[in-house]
Amino acid sequence: MFPAMPQQEVTSVTTTVSDRDGRAVSLRGLRKSFGSVVAVAGVDLDVADGEFFAMLGPSGSGKTTVLRMIAGFESPTAGTVELGGRDVTRLAPFERDVNTVFQDYALFPHMSVLENVEYGLRVKRVPKAERRARATEALTSVRLDGFERRRPAQLSGGQRQRVALARALVNRPRVLLLDEPLGALDLKLREEMQVELKAIQREVGITFLFVTHDQEEALTMSDRIAVFNAGAIEQVGTPAEIYERPATAFVAGFVGTSNLISGATARAVLGKDGTFSVRPEKLRVVLGDADPPGPDEHSAEGTVSEVVYAGPATRFVVDLDTGTRLIALQQNQEVSSMDVTGLRGRRVRLVWQRRHEFAVTS
Amino acid sequence: MNLSRTARAALWTALVLGLGVVYVPLGVVVLNSFNSDRTFGWPPPGFTLQWWGAAWRSTGVRDALWTSVQAGLGATAIALVLGTMAAFAVQRYRFFGRDTVSLLIVLPIALPGIVTGIALSNTFHSVLGVPLGLFTVIVGHATFCVVTVYNNVLARLRRTGLNMEEASADLGADTFTTFRLVTFPMMRSALLAGGLLAFALSFDEIIVTTFTAGAGVRTLPIWIFENLFRPNQAPVVNVVAAALVIVSVVPIYLAQRLSGGDPQTR
């Protein structure tokens, strides 16, 4: 009576840094302490030229400090920062070929939009005619023509964001750093800007390195993601790798909903020791003896303790007999809220394919 | 908020009375400077510019005015330099006793002028052996003028933060260029407001001036005080007082506009 979910094949696209000269950013053994507080505890990272790379993590995980060390606002306690193969660890921000889009945009309030965008070219003594042409072009590329004479205070949040982007891009930096670039925008605008940022990056071909705490933003926009926790990188990979094969329990929990199977449940259900992760949408909720598990599948029995109907999908909270609580997400292809909410308290079997369970380190 | 008619009327009356107590006498001073009656008969029998002319021709007034301007400019200059430096130090760096330093900088504006005056006079005269004169007046005024600059610059620094300077450095500007193109322009209106207030404070100060000015140094307020009780000087004193009212209003008004206005909206 309850339809089984069609399982989708996971196509994992691995982007590795093969060209050693094509490294836009290389971090080696990067550490930063503020007094006795260790903000960054040894980070090694390579970002390839032209990549859209996300540093994802909760607040206080050290991702912003890493970004600030790449920009040159903080000097590392230990380790090196290389840009395009050149060691810039000891250089001031104005000597580095990177530009930053700040979280609060940091537009100069006493200058017009055009003067803001021209600023980088002006301090580099680019002739007036050329910098005007390039600034106008940059404003066109972020769809802000006609706003040249305005002051930042006369713009909306989304417009300010795009001015900040134009102000950074007009310098054609080796790497563009973005610190929570969409954090100050409301949801709808944020979704629009996600698409737009991605399009602009593809157009200009500059390496984008952005910091975010929003896992959905990281998954939708990036070529690759580094997940930060407690000053260190937990995992680096493509969005699909990060989501489908989380390397650690932290990644499994921070990106998406974690379903962890360990201890007695792991021995009873999977027949092995360790901690394993299965994503909620990979679980099939089966009633009674219908749809028995195949040879490549695992299954576990339990009781539905909660049913959350959320329009396109329903979330089942199932307490396994062995004591573990798992969450299963089923699309409402043929059912309605009336059907699913009646399942609370019922005995069910959760079935999943073996290839969707992954050992994680806890 | 909604108020009853009576409450409204009462509030308006209080406002008018309160402001009237302050400004009607000032209006009388200005009006009397045009009063054709030498003894300020009221209502004025007629109006004349005679006293303004007399005041303008009086070398005593002109010298005192020039002294006051010099003292004001000198004290303001010191206040701008020291006040700005103190504000940057307190806002940008953490150091031992930072809050105490901040308090000590602001305190002189609350100290009774007579205390500051006696203290400075004793120190200059007896301890340091500096002869009292225009220089000691300037230093005396600077002690409290620093406060207005300090407060204005500190407020501006708090509001703008470090972001703008980081953005400037990020876009390729070295430290000096950043100061010239970003930090200073964003501070400019705060400096102007603080400087105008400092000048206004110095211009009409009398107590500290009395104690720190030597025999030959006479600022405008001191000149007024000395001539206040000479009947034949009364009309000229009145003109000088009226001029002081007008001269004081302008910098205060400008300073209010500058420090009240959000830098983002200009």
Q: Is residue A11 part of a domain?
A: no
Counting beta carbons within 10 angstroms of the beta carbon of residue A200, is it exposed (0 to 12), middle (13 to 18) or buried (19 or more)? buried
Q: Where are the alpha helices (DSSP H) in A156-287?
A: 157-169, 187-204, 215-221, 239-244, 249-254, 263-265
DSSP string, B186-236: HHHHHHHHHHHHHHHHHHT--HHHHHH--TT---HHHHHHHHTT-GGGHHH
Rg (CA), chain B: 23
Q: Is residue A81 part of a domain?
A: yes
DSSP string, B125-186: IIII-PPPSHHHHHHHHHHHHHHHHHHHHHHHHHHH-SHHHHHHHHTT--HHHHIIIIIHHH
Whether residue A156 sits in one domain with residue A119: yes
Q: Which two tokens stand for residue A39?
A: 């903000």
Pick the more confident residue, A339 or B159. B159
Q: pLDDT-based confidence at A337, cuts 50/70/90? A: low
Number of domains observed in the structure of chain A: 2
Whether residue B263 and residue A120 make contact (CB cut-off 8 A), yes or no, is no
Task: Tell how far CA B214 is from the center of its chain.
Answer: 22
Whether residue A335 sits in one domain with residue A288: yes
- Coil, strand, or helix at residue B254? helix
Interface of B with A (CB under 8 A): 163-164, 166-174, 177, 181-182, 185-186, 262-266
Pick the more confident residue, A22 or B6. B6
Cβ-contact A49, A24 below 8 angstroms = yes
Q: What is the pLDDT along chain B (266 residues), one digit of tens a residue?
A: 677 888 899 999 999 999 999 999 888 888 888 888 777 777 877 888 888 888 888 888 889 989 999 999 999 999 999 999 999 999 888 888 888 988 898 888 888 888 988 999 889 888 888 888 899 999 999 999 999 999 999 998 888 777 899 999 999 999 899 999 998 888 888 899 899 989 988 988 889 998 888 778 889 889 888 888 887 788 888 888 888 888 778 877 887 787 654 444 33
- B205 Cβ contact list (under 8 Å, min separation 6): B113, B141, B219, B221
Q: What is the DSSP letter of A289?
A: T
Whether residue A294 sits in one domain with residue A185: no
Span A147-161, average pLDDT: 90
Q: Is residue A153 part of a domain?
A: yes
Neighbours of A345 (CB within 10 A): 10
Q: pLDDT-based confidence at A336, cuts 50/70/90? A: low
Q: Is residue A74 part of a domain?
A: yes
Give the best-scoring range by mean pLDDT among A135-144, A229-238, B112-121: A229-238
Which residue from B99, A164, B68 is spatially nearest to B91, judged by alpha carbons?
B99
Residue A61 is part of which domain span?
A: 20-254
Scan for tokens 């000048």, then name that residue. Answer: B199
Q: In which element (H, E) is residue B118 found?
A: helix B113-122
Q: What angle, 0 to 180 degrees and rounded to 10, lies between the N-to-C axes of helices B234-260 and B184-203?
A: 160
Q: How far apart are CA A92 and CA B173, in angstroms?
A: 10
With 70 as the cut, is the pLDDT of residue A19 above it? no
Whether residue A93 and residue B166 make contact (CB cut-off 8 A), yes or no, is yes
Scan for tokens 């891009």, then name that residue. Answer: A169
Cβ-contact B26, B238 below 8 angstroms = no
Looking at every residue in chain A, the average pLDDT score rounds to 87
Q: Is residue A9 part of a domain?
A: no
User: What is the length of chain A?
Assistant: 362
Residue B54: per-residue pLDDT: 85
Span A224-253, average pLDDT: 92
Among A65, A99, A101, A110, which would you mutate to test the B interface (most chain B Cβ atoms within 10 Å of its Cβ)?
A110
Q: Is residue A207 part of a domain?
A: yes
Which CATH number belongs to the domain containing residue A305 in this structure? 2.40.50.140
How near does any CA of chain B get to the CA of A74, in Å?
11
Whether residue A217 sits in one domain with residue A183: yes
Task: Please identify, among A197, A228, A254, the residue that sits at the C-terminal boundary of a domain.
Answer: A254
Q: pLDDT-based confidence at A175, cuts 50/70/90? A: very high
Scan for tokens 């339990």, then name that residue. Answer: A302
Whether residue A270 sits in one domain with residue A227: no
Cβ-contact A307, A335 below 8 angstroms = no
Q: Across the interface, which of A72, A104, A152 has its CB nearest the CB of B163?
A: A104
Cβ-contact B154, B136 below 8 angstroms = no
With 60 as the cut, is the pLDDT of residue A18 above it? no
With 50 as the cut, is the pLDDT of residue A293 above it? yes
Residue A309: per-residue pLDDT: 87
Counting beta carbons within 10 angstroms of the beta carbon of residue B137, is it exposed (0 to 12), middle (13 to 18) or buried (19 or more)? buried
Q: Which two tokens stand for residue B96?
A: 């031992």
Q: Which two tokens stand for residue A236?
A: 């680096």
- B20 Cβ contact list (under 8 Å, min separation 6): none
Q: Residue A99: closest CA among chain B residues belongs to which residue?
A: B170
Q: What angle, 0 to 180 degrees and rounded to 10, lies between the N-to-C axes of helices B184-203 and B134-160?
A: 140
Q: What is the set of domains in chain B, with CATH numbers?
A: 61-265 (1.10.3720.10)
Residue A1: per-residue pLDDT: 42
Task: Please identify, among A254, A269, A303, the residue that sits at the C-terminal boundary of a domain.
Answer: A254
Q: Which two tokens stand for residue A356?
A: 């969707």
Residues A31, A33, A37, CA angle at the centre, nearest 5°? 130
Residue B265: per-residue pLDDT: 38
Q: Is residue A15 part of a domain?
A: no
Among B171, B178, B179, B180, which would you mutate to test the A interface (most chain A Cβ atoms within 10 Å of its Cβ)?
B171
Q: In which element (H, E) is residue A257 found?
A: none
Whether residue A162 sits in one domain with residue A99: yes
Q: What angle, 0 to 180 degrees and rounded to 10, lies between the N-to-C axes of helices B5-32 and B234-260?
A: 130
- Coil, strand, or helix at residue B33? coil
> What tens digit of pLDDT does each residue of A32-57 get?
999 889 999 999 999 999 999 999 99
Residue B260: per-residue pLDDT: 56
Q: How far apart are CA B149 and CA B135, in angstroms?
A: 20
Residue A14: per-residue pLDDT: 40
Q: pLDDT-based confidence at A13, cuts 50/70/90? A: very low
Q: How far apart are CA A32 and CA A304, in angstroms?
A: 47
Whether residue A297 sits in one domain with residue A219: no
- Coil, strand, or helix at residue B48? coil
- Coil, strand, or helix at residue A309? strand
Q: Across the interface, which of B185, B186, B264 has its CB nearest the CB of A153?
A: B264
Which residues of chain A does B167 touch, with a Cβ-Cβ cutoff of 8 Å? 100, 102, 106-108
- Predicted structure pTM score: 0.74
Span A11-24, average pLDDT: 52
Whether residue A94 and residue B174 make contact (CB cut-off 8 A), yes or no, is yes
Q: Is residue A298 part of a domain?
A: yes
Say how many CB pairs under 8 Å bridge A and B.
Answer: 70
- Coil, strand, or helix at residue A298? strand
Judged by phi (left if over 0) then psi (alpha if -120 to 50, else beta), residue A233 lies in beta
Residue A15: per-residue pLDDT: 40
Which residues of chain A does B263 touch, with a Cβ-Cβ cutoff of 8 Å? 109-110
Residue A242: per-residue pLDDT: 93
Whether residue A231 sits in one domain with residue A312: no
Whether residue A272 sits in one domain with residue A195: no
Whether residue A301 sits in one domain with residue A193: no
Cβ-contact A4, A284 below 8 angstroms = yes
Whether residue A67 sits in one domain with residue A197: yes
Q: Across the interface, which of A107, A120, A153 has its CB nearest the CB of B172?
A: A120
- Coil, strand, or helix at residue B94? coil
Residue A234: per-residue pLDDT: 94
Q: What's the CA dihedral at B208, B210, B215, B220 to 10 degrees?
A: 100
Q: How far apart are CA A347 and CA A345, in angstroms?
A: 7
Which residue from A26, A40, A57, A30 is spatially nearest to A210, judged by alpha carbons?
A57
Q: Which two tokens stand for residue A178?
A: 């973005």
Whether residue B171 and residue A119 make contact (CB cut-off 8 A), yes or no, is yes
Whether residue A184 sits in one domain with residue A273: no
Task: Please identify, among A222, A254, A286, the residue that sits at the C-terminal boundary of a domain.
Answer: A254
